[in-house]
Structure 1
Amino acid sequence: MSYDLAVWEGPSPANDAAASAAFEDLHAEFMGGRSVAPTALIRQYVGELVTRWPDLSPDDDDEDEDASPWSDGPLINNASGPLFYFGMLFSNYQQAAQFAAERARALDLVCFDPQDGRLVT
């Protein structure tokens, strides 16, 4: 089980409903089978996350799962264009989600929780 966040470049939505609609549009455009190189700002953001906790490689075994909160890797594979949609292991997501939201705010990126349909501030 994982906890997912979506982070993207763009204007800050006015409310949760607007954020949900923006996420749906971005997801359909950038994650719906067409992969686009991540923007420079999204690459920077992902770099900050994997600097804090190690990235996973496809051949990592379960013994390493406590070293990183990410549910898969390499983490940059979850980015397309201005959108980054990624998961964290539910067992230890809280600290990682807080850090991810803080870094998104610092870079003026939108952070959205698709499970709850709410902006993360």
Structure 2
Amino acid sequence: MSYDLAVWEGVRPADDATATTTFQDLYRKHMRRMGGQKTPPAPLIRQYVEALVTRWPDLSPDDDEEDEDASPWSDGPLINNASGPLFYFGMVFSKHQEASSFAVDLARTLGLICFDPQTGRLTS
């Protein structure tokens, strides 16, 4: 089981309902592209992801279970979850509280929008 967050560049939505619509639109446009081609991550999104993997190690397909225990990410490399202005990523549920707290604070610091799709609420 994982806990997911969405982070994106843009104007802060006025409310949670608008944020939900914005997230769905961005997801359709950037994560569900025909042919599976994603847009390269925007520079600020790349900076955000790099800061996350500086804090906790990234995962690669070759990681063994011991390496996975050192990281809260549910998959990797984490940058593969970014496309254009959107980054949608998961954390293992057992480590999501500390990781999501850091992720929300980092998004706020960088001026990014952070959204919890499980609750449909803005987090930053």
TM class by shorter chain equals over 0.9
Alignment-derived partner of residue 12 in structure 2: 12
Deviation track 1:13-71 (CA, whole Å, cap 9, x = no partner) reads 01100000000000000001340000000000000000000000111111222200000
Q: Which runs of 5+ in 1 are unaligned?
A: none
Q: Equivalent residue for 2:47? A: 44
* Aligned position for 2:25: 25
Q: For 2:64 and 2:121, locate their aligned partners in 1 and report how far apart those are by CA, in whole Å.
A: 33
The TM-score with structure 2 as length reference comes to 0.95
Q: How many residues align?
A: 121
- % of aligned pairs identical? 69
SS of 1:100's partner is helix
Aligned position for 1:2: 2
Match of 2:60 in 1: 57
Give the letter for the 1:76 counterpart: I
* Separation (CA, whole Å) in 2 of partners of 1:16 and 1:79: 22
Please tell me the residue identity of whatever aligns with 2:56: W
Counterpart residue type for residue 113 of structure 1: D
Inter-partner Cα distance in structure 2 for 1:47 and 1:75: 9
For structure 2, the 5+ residue unaligned runs are: none
TM-score by length of 1: 0.98
Q: Distance in 2 between matches of 1:61 and 1:118?
A: 34
Cα distance in 1 for residues equivalent to 2:91 and 2:20: 20
RMSD across aligned C-alpha pairs, in angstroms? 0.7
Give the Cα–Cα distance (whole angstroms) in 2 for the partners of residues 46 and 100 of structure 1: 9
User: 1-side partners of 2:44 and 2:74: how far apart?
Assistant: 22
The secondary structure found in structure 2 opposite 1:85 is strand
Following superposition, the deviation at residue 84 of structure 1 comes to 0.1
Structure 2 counterpart of 1:64, one-letter code: D
For 1:102, the equivalent position in structure 2 comes to 105
In structure 1, the partner of 2:90 is 87
Q: Which amino acid aligns with 2:105?
A: E
The reply on whether 1:71 has 2:74 as its aligned counterpart is yes
